[in-house]
Amino acid sequence: MIFVKIGKLLSFFNSYASLTNNSYLCVVFIDRHILMKVFCFYSC
């Protein structure tokens, strides 16, 4: 279930990555850390 969510989020972040470089970091974090942790990092 988590893997599926990560894949979907990755697609969303990928689109944002084009807008900002910060998003790219989030994408990498998603693969390494949990989605929640990434979301918090992105908010910061």
Q: Which domain holds residue 38?
A: 2-43
Distance CA 42, CA 36 (A): 10
State pLDDT tens for residues 6-32. Answer: 666 666 666 655 555 555 555 555 555
DSSP symbol at 1: -
- Name 44's Cβ contacts closer than 8 Å, sequence gap at least 6: none
C-alpha torsion sign, points 6, 9, 14, 19:
negative
Higher model confidence: residue 42 or residue 15?
15
pLDDT at 2: 55
* pLDDT at residue 28 in the model: 53
The rounded distance, in Å, linking the Cα atoms of 14 and 11 is: 5
Predicted pLDDT at 44: 45
Per the structure, how many domains does the chain have? Answer: 1
